[in-house]
């Protein structure tokens, strides 16, 4: 199942908000150890999907 761009954006925003709740001076929970890295990978995949969708729409509009 492929997630839509809006699904990806809402998930990304939710996870970034969860990451930002932890105060920088406090030790982060173990579950946050690689979260920043995973979020950046997820963000890159999200942008690729959005760009592909944009290019698809642009090509359809050019044909008209």
Residue pair 29/22 in contact by the 8 Å Cβ criterion: yes
Domain count, the chain: 1
pLDDT per residue over 5-50, tens digit each? Answer: 888 889 999 988 988 888 888 888 787 788 889 999 999 988 998 8
User: What pLDDT is recorded for position 4?
Assistant: 82
CA distance 11 to 19: 12
Residues spanned by the domain of 57: 5-21+30-63
**At residue 2, does pLDDT exceed 80?**
no
**At residue 61, does pLDDT exceed 90?**
no
Cα of 11 vs its chain's centroid, Å: 7
The band of 1, judged by pLDDT with boundaries at 50, 70 and 90, is: low
């Amino acid at each position: 199942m492929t997630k839509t761009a809006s699904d990806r954006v809402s998930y990304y925003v939710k996870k970034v908000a969860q990451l930002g709740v932890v105060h920088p001076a406090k030790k982060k929970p173990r579950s946050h150890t690689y979260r920043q890295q995973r979020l950046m990978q997820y963000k890159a995949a999200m942008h690729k999907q959005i760009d592909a969708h944009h290019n698809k729409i642009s090509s359809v509009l050019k044909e008209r």
